[in-house]
Structure 1
Amino acid sequence: MGGDFSRVGTAVAVALIGAIAAGGSAEAQQARPDPTLPPVVVQPGQATPRSAADPGARPRNAARRTARAARSHANPAPIAPAENAASLPRDGIEGYFAQTTTAGAKVATPILQLPRSVSTVTQQEIADRDAQSVREALQYTAGVSSYFREGQFTRDFVSIRGFQALQFLDGLRLNVNNYGLEPYGFERIDVLKGPAATLYGQGSPGGLWDITSKRPTDQAFGEALLRFGLRNTMEGAFDVGGPVTSDRSLLYRVVGVGRFGDGEIDFTRNERAYFAPSFTWRNEDTSLTILAAYQYDPHVTVLQPLPYQGAVVPGPTGQFISRNLFLGEPGFHDTSVQQARIGYEFKHQMNEVFSFQQNFYYQNIDINLNEVQSRASASTTTTARMAANQTFQIDMYQIDNRLKADFDNGMLRHHVLFGVDYSAVPNYQGTGTAAATNFNFYSPAYGTPVPTPIITTNRYQDQRQFGTYIQDRTEIGRLSVLAGVRYDNLEQDQKTRTLNTTTGVLSNPPWTLQPDHGLTYNGGLIYNFSNGVAPYASYSQTFTPTSGTDFFGRAFIPVTGDQKEVGIKYMPPGLDLLLTAAVFDITQYDVLTNDLSHPGFAVQTSSVRSQGGEVELKTTRLYGFNVSAAYTYLDAKVIATNTIGGVGKHPVGIPMNQASLWTTYRFAEGVMRGVTLGGGVRFVGDQAVDALNTLPVPSFTLYDLTARYELGALSPTLAKWDVALNVKNLMDTRYVGSCDDQFNCYYGPGRNIIGTLRARW
């Protein structure tokens, strides 16, 4: 595999050289603008910005209507760029906050007109903090906890308001296990807090995060960078794009990343290859954007669970277990994840009222796992291990069709969205296991031969979901009222074929079909005062189908939940500042727990309530400062369970208090001109280890630093270049991010230092 990545490194180096060389042609293209088509902003479906002083204003595109009416079919008129379009900010790209979002409405909606809590992590904030994953990108976001099961870079486990959240990409759900995506391919991440089933179907009561992929722009540009980090890590990346044709009707963008180096845990690697091309074709009324990506992680590290005694508190020997300890076998350590996807976004403006949008993607994930894994045991000095041979083949198909109508009805301005979506997720999992030697946490010994287990269990599954929804956002002067309803129909076919190792014959049981359906509602209202204050209230529901049956063969009913939320948003006119605050009450019903009367089975006897509040502040170049600050108070409790003594206890792994502050300051003049300095602090309160809350994971505080220097301050010939340094966990604090129970705790990463050399044109 080392040879493979030597070739990847060479390819990336060649691509970087080509990208830098392309800078000259990009500048030539940029010097010859052709305004025959309106400019494309990077955030898709960008709503026309409204003055914070008059959010109820209704701009009309009279020039477009006049031109369209006078146009000859034989000789269509060229399209003029939108008024002041060249001066519009790239929303969600530059700065630290966005003025519009598609999360919560599926179409671009001003933040101050959406009665839901939404946080945006912009491209600039991701770059300033040099986030290497979604969980790192969301570490400074209110209501979000991203420290669950740390220690691997291929999964993004994130909880929102106390519940594990779901991952979306370009508005479509990624249905399986939140496999990590390359953050250099992101434009922004929007976090919608609370249930979202009315628009998105089955999901989490905590909410979701929606990643927007980088896509073409109508201005030629380029970027190339080299990163160097601890543990022999080196990364090359490039991002180039712009118009292909002189009339800017065809645009392109290509993003690439190649990385190799050692992991923090002994005998592990940190390697990735990523390539993402995209193309946009458009005319006055129609656009089609093709989005594709390929990602290969050739050396994945599985979770390394450790006992509470030895990770959180000293072990029997009085020592802590090393953070670098590898629990597997170096000679049986070969796990890879390969992801490929392709999709499109189609938009068509039918007339002044109706528009149609369609999103589609197909994604394939192939996982091959050969690992010796730790198995929890009561011992605090040794662990039992198991050799596993697993293969996963997952296909995902998603399509979402939306018809939007914007029209007046007397004093009312309606934005009606009618949608139909469909998803199918056929997947296969093959598993073979065998016992392996025990392992001592304090005296590790490696080298035991491990034969590859035969795959004996073959699970086939096909999940299908069909949903239809309607939502109306109505403007009544400064008041916006949101109401929606959705119906979902779901089916899951499954069968498991088992190998008889004596005869070599696979069983062939019949498929089991489990149908389900759900009806969900949401509603809310928000009022915009002229001073930029916008109070709101909302109600939303969620449901999640639950596969399987109980001891008596009865199918489980869906897990349901709802949220009541009241909040306020503040975006003062003339200041690049967004302040949001919210209080919420979420209840989740009919959660599975162990059947105490019939071991090995489950019952639906648990319910959880999450109450709390959060405050978030974002600024963009406010007196030279970019700021992202957040505080979350979360009182989550079990309100029903069959566990004796469990009622009133906190769920495992949910901190009650979290706070963070990240800021940067750029010196615009003087001897420090071109220098940007910044840093952050993250505080996570203590959390429960077990259902009866007898043990805590202690609170921890982490510090981060950043510094960047624009070399153009030294010489105009270096105007395209800058260098940066990022330090994460500055004090190299040893901490446990979370525990599943007292035998499965997970260390967080130690100090990491990354230097970056970047060229932009």
Structure 2
Amino acid sequence: MNSFNRPVFTAALIVSAVASQAHAQVANSSEKDASDIVVTATRATTATKTDTAILEIPQAIGVVTAEQIKSRGAIGLQEALRYSAGLRTEPNGSDFRFDYVTARGGFNAARYVDGMRMPDSSFVPRTEIYNLERIEVLRGPSSVLYGQGAPGGIVNSLTKRPDFTNRGEIGVEYGSFDRKQIEGDITGALNADGTGAARLVGLFRDAGTPIDFGKDNRLMLAPSVRFRPGEGTDIVLQGLYQRDRAASISTFLPISATLLAPKGRELPRGVYLGEPSHNFYNSEQLAGTLSVTHRFSDALTYSGTLRYSHSTAHNGAIEATVFSGLVNPFLDPDKRVIGRSRYDSRGTANMFTTDNNLRADFSTGPFRHKLLLGVDYLRSRLSSATISVPAGPIDIYAPAYNPANVPAADFVDDPRALNTQLGFYLQDQIDFREAATLLLGVRRDRAVSDVAGTPRQVDKATTFRAGLVLHPLPGLAPYVSYSESFLPTIGRNFYGVPFVPQKGAQYEAGIKWQPDRETLVAVSAFTIEGTNRIETDPMNGNNQIQQGVVKSRGVEVEASRTVARNFTVLASYSYVHVRTGRSPDTLGEALPISGVPTHQASVFGEKTFVLPHDLLLRVGGGVRYVGKSADAAVFRDIVLTGAVERLVTPGFTLADALIALERDRWTLSINATNLFDKHYYASCSPRSACGPGYKRNIVASLGYRF
């Protein structure tokens, strides 16, 4: 611990005694007394691919339940994770392009749905959170079980599945920016024998966004069926259709007219610098998933999942040239007129994934084993085409829109890409007389990339994982762990040498405490080193080399506590220090990573009141603090003389609120995020742009359960 900031670490320990984070669910309704409220999220599957108690996992993992998603007023996946430790959500501000979450120092957190990898592509739309039962976040390298990925970790969204209990709900919403939504969820048994069940989840939304001319329209249908043909066999077939019609999805504004604007020259939030006549993001997604579990005996269980997804998207936009790297990007002396370009993209992303494993439960003397042997395979294909041409300029302070500013152009096909990965993994969870749990894992991967016009690239990697959890007292679990990650880097350098995979390694130590079912506290400290980061060769500007290193270390605190069985407090704290390490270009060493605040903290509380006439009143509120973040960039002049420019984006504090009334089967709730409508920037870059933060968003919901 000597490498950590001691005062911060001490503060974190103090916070852990009273704080709490998102592992709790307030399960109240008019049919339940407040005394029935319990904490439920004490187990997780993402960390081990087995149903394991959180106390037995030697790595930091966070859980957000469907009820918490509603309570926080989240409208998307990244918004649902705002109160989770160790994550930076919405790093680009009010950006509706995709789910973008970074973890533990700016490393991307890979997206998974039901344990299966989602394509890393702008042609895949954002996940619909109404179709989720919960979200599990495994922080740190996770390649042993999941293959290629960055050191930050993974975000695994677990979707709704058929239930054999007949129930359902329907709801309507209306909110800020003319948001209108209707949603429904119905499930139940198909026969009296209880061998079949079905579920249908659906949603239709017609909504604007905080950006002028923006829209966030969606149609989503998720049917599923479930069969239990015999004891020990469970088969689930899930379908998904999602159609999005969005606009104004990217909101970057010139830094000289935002964070660094002179007095009276700061652009208002929501200003749109494109062309309304050419402003759309239209996408469709089809997916089918088959999951099978069969228990051969109490000692041997098979689990298998396969998914095929097909996504298409067409994006059309006129974008201001804010990423030029020029000291003065404006075209006039008064610094009002800026150039623009037409950037269109259209493409198709197809992905087939499958994961199959056998679990053996057995004992050897005093040791109890959960041995997992598995193989997974991934095949993705991406076809795309783009348009990138100059467009008519715009006066950013007095936008005058004209369809004539949209130049005619033809699409240019991009090289078609085909990627495959085959991995074998072995994991053993070993319990010793309930006093200790040892977790060991190893994986071997072969990843192949075929990009049209370039030689085939084959990468192979072996990754390891080890962790030890002690149980000195009931409910107390100190642990240590080591884990690795690898991520194939597609392409070759100037001299034709293929890039090697980027790698990550993490050491983590922590303690988890669960004195009762209503309390869960976790403190973790970690250090991560990511290697083989791609950088520009200082001796040849046309070449890229792999010697870059990112070093991240930090402390996280998360916990949950239900007081008096009807008051839940959730809080988190994160400290992270991340910098670039050794580099062939000395100017690129010891630089901060963009958009990573050193400190983050949050707290959210809910109180339930029992009122006359069978009414329940829930009142909740939260505060989120995101500290200042630094960015640095190396700029070179025409003779390659270099200089580093640094910029600090101020921190900000935001408040959220909830009020809800429940009676019988009805629920009326009002959520407000950024309650006081604070004006802030999520992150800014030198000589570049800022991402404005979210405006205040108020949504009223009326729901009926049956």
For residue 730 of structure 1, give the secondary structure of its aligned residue in structure 2: coil
Once residues 396 and 39 of structure 2 are traced to their aligned partners in structure 1, the CA distance between those partners, rounded to angstroms, is 44
What is the aligned partner in structure 2 of residue 373 from structure 1?
319
Contact 1:304 / 1:374 at 8 angstroms: preserved in 2?
Answer: no
1:396-426 CA-to-partner distances (Å, cap 9, x unmatched) read: 1000001000011111100000000000001
What is the aligned partner in structure 2 of residue 72 from structure 1?
none
Is it true that 1:128 corresponds to 2:71 in the alignment?
yes
The alpha-carbon deviation at position 643 of structure 1 amounts to 4.1
Q: 2:344 aligns with which of 369, 383, 389?
A: 389
The alpha-carbon deviation at position 602 of structure 1 amounts to 1.7
What is the aligned partner in structure 1 of residue 6 from structure 2?
none
Gap change, CA 1:300 and 1:576, over 3 Å in 2: same
What is the aligned partner in structure 2 of residue 539 from structure 1?
482
1:423-458 CA-to-partner distances (Å, cap 9, x unmatched) read: 000110111222101222212111142244201233
What is the aligned partner in structure 2 of residue 742 from structure 1?
687
Number of aligned residue pairs: give it: 646
Contact 1:276 / 1:294 at 8 angstroms: preserved in 2?
Answer: yes
Is it true that 1:443 corresponds to 2:401 in the alignment?
no
Q: When the two structures are superposed, what TM-score results if normalisation uses the length of structure 1?
A: 0.83
Contact 1:238 / 1:256 at 8 angstroms: preserved in 2?
Answer: yes
What is the aligned partner in structure 2 of residue 234 from structure 1?
180
The alpha-carbon deviation at position 619 of structure 1 amounts to 3.0
Higher mean C-alpha displacement, 103-112 vs 621-630 = 621-630
Q: List 4+ stretches of structure 1 deviating above 6 A.
A: none
Q: 2:602 aligns with which of 645, 660, 664?
A: 660
Once residues 419 and 466 of structure 2 are traced to their aligned partners in structure 1, the CA distance between those partners, rounded to angstroms, is 29
Is it true that 1:470 corresponds to 2:414 in the alignment?
no
Once residues 751 and 550 of structure 1 are traced to their aligned partners in structure 2, the CA distance between those partners, rounded to angstroms, is 46
Gap change, CA 1:252 and 1:135, over 3 Å in 2: same
Is it true that 1:418 corresponds to 2:364 in the alignment?
no
Q: 2:572 aligns with which of 608, 630, 647?
A: 630
Once residues 614 and 686 of structure 2 are traced to their aligned partners in structure 1, the CA distance between those partners, rounded to angstroms, is 50
1:299-342 CA-to-partner distances (Å, cap 9, x unmatched) read: 243322212222223x2463211211112111112321211111
**Equivalent position amino acid for 1:246 in 2:** A
1:630-681 CA-to-partner distances (Å, cap 9, x unmatched) read: 0000011111224443322221111100000111111135699510001100
Once residues 185 and 506 of structure 2 are traced to their aligned partners in structure 1, the CA distance between those partners, rounded to angstroms, is 40
What is the aligned partner in structure 1 of residue 282 from structure 2?
336
For residue 645 of structure 1, give the secondary structure of its aligned residue in structure 2: helix
Q: 1:428 aligns with which of 364, 374, 383?
A: 383
Is it true that 1:205 corresponds to 2:151 in the alignment?
yes
For residue 485 of structure 2, give the secondary structure of its aligned residue in structure 1: strand
For residue 288 of structure 2, give the secondary structure of its aligned residue in structure 1: strand
Is it true that 1:522 corresponds to 2:465 in the alignment?
yes
What is the aligned partner in structure 2 of residue 30 from structure 1?
none
Matches within 5 A, 1:693-708: 694-708=646-660
1:38-80 CA-to-partner distances (Å, cap 9, x unmatched) read: xxxxxxxxxxxxxxxxxxxxxxxxxxxxxxxxxxxxxxxxxxx
What is the aligned partner in structure 2 of residue 650 from structure 1?
592
For residue 216 of structure 2, give the secondary structure of its aligned residue in structure 1: coil
Q: 2:217 aligns with which of 263, 266, 271?
A: 271
For residue 309 of structure 1, give the secondary structure of its aligned residue in structure 2: helix
Is it true that 1:180 corresponds to 2:126 in the alignment?
yes
Contact 2:65 / 2:135 at 8 angstroms: preserved in 1?
Answer: yes
Unaligned runs of 5+ in 2: 1-31, 331-335, 634-643
Contact 1:96 / 1:626 at 8 angstroms: preserved in 2?
Answer: no
The alpha-carbon deviation at position 164 of structure 1 amounts to 1.2
Contact 1:389 / 1:454 at 8 angstroms: preserved in 2?
Answer: no
For residue 177 of structure 2, give the secondary structure of its aligned residue in structure 1: coil
Contact 1:527 / 1:536 at 8 angstroms: preserved in 2?
Answer: yes
Is it true that 1:285 corresponds to 2:232 in the alignment?
yes
Contact 1:566 / 1:583 at 8 angstroms: preserved in 2?
Answer: yes
Computing the radius of gyration over CA atoms, which structure comes out larger, 1 or 2?
A: 1
Q: 2:438 aligns with which of 481, 486, 504?
A: 481
Contact 2:57 / 2:469 at 8 angstroms: preserved in 1?
Answer: yes
Q: 1:460 aligns with which of 416, 419, 428?
A: 416
**Equivalent position amino acid for 1:389 in 2:** D
1:677-726 CA-to-partner distances (Å, cap 9, x unmatched) read: 0110000011113234621000000000000001x2xxxxxx11110000
For residue 538 of structure 2, give the secondary structure of its aligned residue in structure 1: coil
Contact 1:480 / 1:525 at 8 angstroms: preserved in 2?
Answer: yes
1:581-611 CA-to-partner distances (Å, cap 9, x unmatched) read: 0000000011011223333432112101100
Contact 2:291 / 2:303 at 8 angstroms: preserved in 1?
Answer: yes
Gap change, CA 1:141 and 1:383, over 3 Å in 2: same
Gap change, CA 1:742 and 1:630, over 3 Å in 2: farther
Gap change, CA 1:745 and 1:301, over 3 Å in 2: same
Once residues 212 and 634 of structure 1 are traced to their aligned partners in structure 2, the CA distance between those partners, rounded to angstroms, is 28
**Equivalent position amino acid for 1:297 in 2:** D
Once residues 582 and 376 of structure 2 are traced to their aligned partners in structure 1, the CA distance between those partners, rounded to angstroms, is 34
What is the aligned partner in structure 1 of residue 103 from structure 2?
160
Once residues 382 and 38 of structure 2 are traced to their aligned partners in structure 1, the CA distance between those partners, rounded to angstroms, is 40
Is it true that 1:681 corresponds to 2:623 in the alignment?
yes
Contact 2:186 / 2:199 at 8 angstroms: preserved in 1?
Answer: yes
Gap change, CA 1:418 and 1:681, over 3 Å in 2: same
Gap change, CA 1:175 and 1:371, over 3 Å in 2: same
1:218-253 CA-to-partner distances (Å, cap 9, x unmatched) read: 211111101000122110000110111112110111
Once residues 85 and 56 of structure 2 are traced to their aligned partners in structure 1, the CA distance between those partners, rounded to angstroms, is 20
Contact 1:185 / 1:276 at 8 angstroms: preserved in 2?
Answer: yes
1:177-225 CA-to-partner distances (Å, cap 9, x unmatched) read: 4741110000000000100001100101010110000011121111110
For residue 384 of structure 2, give the secondary structure of its aligned residue in structure 1: strand
The alpha-carbon deviation at position 97 of structure 1 amounts to 5.2
Tell me the C-alpha RMSD between the 2 structures: 1.8
What is the aligned partner in structure 1 of residue 554 from structure 2?
612
For residue 694 of structure 1, give the secondary structure of its aligned residue in structure 2: strand
What is the aligned partner in structure 2 of residue 294 from structure 1?
241
**Equivalent position amino acid for 1:431 in 2:** T
Once residues 273 and 540 of structure 2 are traced to their aligned partners in structure 1, the CA distance between those partners, rounded to angstroms, is 33
1:346-365 CA-to-partner distances (Å, cap 9, x unmatched) read: 00001121110001111111
Gap change, CA 1:211 and 1:552, over 3 Å in 2: same
What is the aligned partner in structure 2 of residue 491 from structure 1?
448
Higher mean C-alpha displacement, 686-695 vs 280-289 = 686-695
1:472-520 CA-to-partner distances (Å, cap 9, x unmatched) read: 000001210000100000100011xxxxxxxxxxxxxx45211101000
Report percent identity of matched pairs: 31
Gap change, CA 1:511 and 1:598, over 3 Å in 2: closer
**Equivalent position amino acid for 2:505 in 1:** D
Gap change, CA 1:143 and 1:326, over 3 Å in 2: same
Contact 2:283 / 2:313 at 8 angstroms: preserved in 1?
Answer: yes
What is the aligned partner in structure 1 of residue 197 from structure 2?
251
Gap change, CA 1:584 and 1:672, over 3 Å in 2: farther
**Equivalent position amino acid for 2:291 in 1:** E
Gap change, CA 1:127 and 1:336, over 3 Å in 2: same
What is the aligned partner in structure 1 of residue 81 from structure 2?
138
Greater strand proportion:
2
Higher mean C-alpha displacement, 460-469 vs 612-621 = 612-621
What is the aligned partner in structure 1 of residue 640 from structure 2?
none
Once residues 383 and 466 of structure 1 are traced to their aligned partners in structure 2, the CA distance between those partners, rounded to angstroms, is 48
Once residues 741 and 244 of structure 1 are traced to their aligned partners in structure 2, the CA distance between those partners, rounded to angstroms, is 60
Q: When the two structures are superposed, what TM-score results if normalisation uses the length of structure 2?
A: 0.89
Once residues 220 and 282 of structure 2 are traced to their aligned partners in structure 1, the CA distance between those partners, rounded to angstroms, is 14
For residue 69 of structure 2, give the secondary structure of its aligned residue in structure 1: helix
What is the aligned partner in structure 2 of residue 759 from structure 1?
704
Contact 1:649 / 1:693 at 8 angstroms: preserved in 2?
Answer: no
For residue 640 of structure 1, give the secondary structure of its aligned residue in structure 2: coil
The alpha-carbon deviation at position 275 of structure 1 amounts to 0.7
